[in-house]
Structure 1
């Protein structure tokens, strides 16, 4: 349009770096990070991040270089979310449950120049470097993070650098390297894949900025919240809340490991206003013994996601006084992409009905343009009848740039102009979506689709069940039938026949489990059940028509 001009006065590339710079002024003397006896203000955090960026630049880090980190939720992990981008580099947060072999694969694929590692994970990091040394001379420089406390324990090393020493060498007059283009990468997050084909999801400064603001909104974060870190910061950059808390000048309460006692103690001590976690974290909270519980000091908003939460868990959290916000997303959507926004007219519904509605995934948040349930072949939207299943698809500014060094996978993911999630769901008459399963998890028995989520939800409602996961077990007649893996609450006893009968009284018979196995469920570090492990076990058990259902 005539008369317009784009210049530095009206256009600045969006970046979360701006959040820290503003909070360092507006909230300069307010607490930014708390961990044990360590406390920093926003002014101090800003200065530490500048010095970190300066030191990284002195080590030869340039625009676009990858810096990997292997650390739990500690202050250094939080600082790296700003210090690395301020050096113009790309932050690659690695899953702390990976072994040396997997870390080596990801370091090689990402071509990380530096690996910053927590002292407790040093053996894994050194093992990864030893593996890399067998095939390349381009090895990452190790930087070791010591334990944090009132008296910092020194970590003497001759071969590698130490994190605090690195910061001490930094200069406060360093010119921060802001992105030249807001689509420039800010972070690299690996999905849980195989060692042969890791998928590195690339986030942009623009997407991180927008999703951070959306995360603050859907969490009802006013200025100066107190956020308890239960979500791993390595997972989707803490669902982008690493940056969102800075945007609001909040206080980050760090937890090295998550326990129910640690959650309740932290909420009481720091007057926590917000926290997040997968349904397994919520399950841990609601099943905490009375001796570990503490009264809530005020309203505590909890965002959950990562897997569809059982309605019973949501209801139990509300009974304890927590306000649950149910979000849904994937690594490829910067974490949360939808939210089940609550409507006042639902307040008068029976509690069970309320919990079932709350378990829906809802609609896209303000940072995402659109979510839909589509037929993956025709790309037509499914009717909003709450029955017709299709694939959940997204489009918007908070969808990844693509997969690192994997243009074919990127093209497949974006085929048809939408990001294809691989999740199956339905659309309700009010437009809200509800997940039914991952496409790989759906059970097809005698031509009928069985949602494992629905079966798990019924199992979770049993008063003796702590955790449950359902997968398909081979069946010579039906193709496959539901097999339930169950962990009971401490001190409780139940038979497989009892649980099968319980499900048959609440589900169509073909959907009820034919087999129940009692065991601990294998989990990822983000709290998701590793169903591929359970599928292999169910497969190894053989066809159900050849064996009788058993309590193994």
Structure 2
């Protein structure tokens, strides 16, 4: 007979159960490390005690302005203390934080503000122009609080009041609103909207709490860690490091602009130990170091994701002194959900072979319950043969609540009991997955599937190439053929011809995979470093 576990005295009570929430991490930081530097922004710095006080004042001020449970507070701001304060202060008020992409145009910002019924907009003055145009399109203008950051470049003060005055109205001893259910919404993150209006992915306290702990584990953070903000905080809440540094009592170093000279200077000045960025950021660091001859004096761990990083980029980044950690995820999974977990046996491999291993998307992280490469129809896992292509599928506690006001898209995303990523991949015999393409980016030529990533990997190996993106181009005979957009390194313009690139590829690709066209010039990307391939396809088709 099974034992009876239904008795009242065995149920949840305040002493043994509280809803998980990342805002708890700030309480620990101020209890354990009250006088340690929490935030550095140029010549400004705050201790954890001061940071906690400012977050609580923001929460209280928001409540006083009528923004409370279920209300959305948006912020349009780069990597500054105010953005960090919003990650705690907004949910402390019971409200939902919506971090806006600083590269969006006025129409997209207006759509998001209206769609989310934003109650308060916190605005860095550098973005006053696009914000003014967006606000002019709204039927109901939210309360606008402007940040007069001393390091902002231009802009005007268009708010109803300034940020310091606003939080000055708040009570640092005011009551914090804790979630009654850990599945309550904490943040709202809008997707890039490459095929229409952006979709708002709602995050829950449980997912953010768990993913924060996962990031601490896999990026190997501790109380001595100094984190440099090269990753936009608006991008899936800074991959949860906005909360993670509080959990371990480390130090944030804010950076408004991602420029190689400023990055290397900050690393040296503040003894930076950790940072993050897309492969494009790695490329910037490599080129910046090539100009100056700089190399790191002590290793810096850098977590990269956002696009499949070419093995040559990973190798060159490691040679500069960075320890590269390749991770994989998406907005709908609270950011990072998988990583290419390191095996110490790989140390004996050649640098080239090690980089190839590290370029894979890898395995699920410590808080992701399930990740498979499955048949898109049957959802059965594909063989672990490194050849059979399927779709990457996730399920677990780090999945979003759903898309705000969009039940159809939510049901489609979770069809069959899995989150459907749309990424096509293979599973290697060791269980590590490797993306071959997005389902919409695969090139189908004469009935054969061609991976755009495989072509990009080859083009990247050319010594003059800084970045490459392969897309499908219409072809009367084959249906589609590969077209490659190529960015050359500084000083290499005009030195490489399309014929030379073709011959370079011919020695490394099967004939049917060879690009039929090369386009040289800048490649347009999103603010998070992702190549906007839909735009490149349009350019290729028109060509």
Q: TM-score interval w.r.t. the shorter chain? A: over 0.9
Q: Does 1:92 align with 2:98?
A: yes
DSSP-derived class of the 1:430 partner: coil
1:302 touches 1:323 (CA, 8 Å); kept in 2?
Answer: yes
Q: In structure 2, what is the Cα distance between the partners aligned to 1:153 and 1:350? A: 46
CA gap of 1:466–1:168, structure 2 versus 1, over 3 A, is same
C-alpha distance after superposition, 1:260-291 (max 9, x if no partner): 11110000000000000000000000111455
Moved more, 450-459 or 343-352: 343-352
Q: In structure 1, what is the Cα distance between the partners aligned to 2:336 and 2:157? A: 40
2:207 touches 2:397 (CA, 8 Å); kept in 1?
Answer: yes
1:105 touches 1:195 (CA, 8 Å); kept in 2?
Answer: no
Q: Which residue of 2 aligns with 1:43?
A: 49
DSSP-derived class of the 2:135 partner: helix
Q: 1:345 Cα deviation (Å)? A: 1.6
Q: 1:223 Cα deviation (Å)? A: 2.1
Q: Which residue of 2 aligns with 1:393?
A: 393
Q: 1:299 Cα deviation (Å)? A: 2.3
1:354-503, aligned counterparts within 5 Å? 354-492=354-492, 493-503=495-505
Moved more, 393-402 or 282-291: 282-291
2:469 touches 2:484 (CA, 8 Å); kept in 1?
Answer: yes
Q: In structure 1, what is the Cα distance between the partners aligned to 2:299 and 2:312? A: 21
Q: Does 1:173 align with 2:179?
A: no
1:268 touches 1:294 (CA, 8 Å); kept in 2?
Answer: no
Of 30, 34, 39, 1:28 maps to 34
Q: In structure 2, what is the Cα distance between the partners aligned to 1:128 and 1:437? A: 35
Q: Which residue of 1 aligns with 2:203?
A: 203
2:222 touches 2:249 (CA, 8 Å); kept in 1?
Answer: no
Q: 1:194 Cα deviation (Å)? A: 5.2
CA gap of 1:498–1:74, structure 2 versus 1, over 3 A, is same
1:267 touches 1:297 (CA, 8 Å); kept in 2?
Answer: no
Q: In structure 1, what is the Cα distance between the partners aligned to 2:456 and 2:195? A: 30
Q: Which residue of 2 aligns with 1:312?
A: 312
Q: In structure 2, what is the Cα distance between the partners aligned to 1:159 and 1:472? A: 45
Q: Which residue of 2 aligns with 1:104?
A: 110
Q: Does 1:16 align with 2:22?
A: yes
Q: Does 1:191 align with 2:197?
A: no
Q: In structure 1, what is the Cα distance between the partners aligned to 2:433 and 2:155? A: 51
Q: In structure 1, what is the Cα distance between the partners aligned to 2:159 and 2:122? A: 14
1:145 touches 1:163 (CA, 8 Å); kept in 2?
Answer: yes
Q: Which residue of 2 aligns with 1:350?
A: 350
Tell me the TM-score normalized by structure 1: 0.95
Q: In structure 2, what is the Cα distance between the partners aligned to 1:473 and 1:60? A: 52
Q: Which residue of 2 aligns with 1:73?
A: 79
Of 511, 514, 526, 2:513 maps to 511
Tell me the TM-score normalized by structure 2: 0.96
5+ residue gaps, structure 2, are none
Number of aligned residue pairs: 535
Q: 1:294 Cα deviation (Å)? A: 4.2
Q: 1:155 Cα deviation (Å)? A: 10
DSSP-derived class of the 1:472 partner: strand
C-alpha distance after superposition, 1:100-151 (max 9, x if no partner): 111101101111001111010012111111111xxx2x221111000236xx
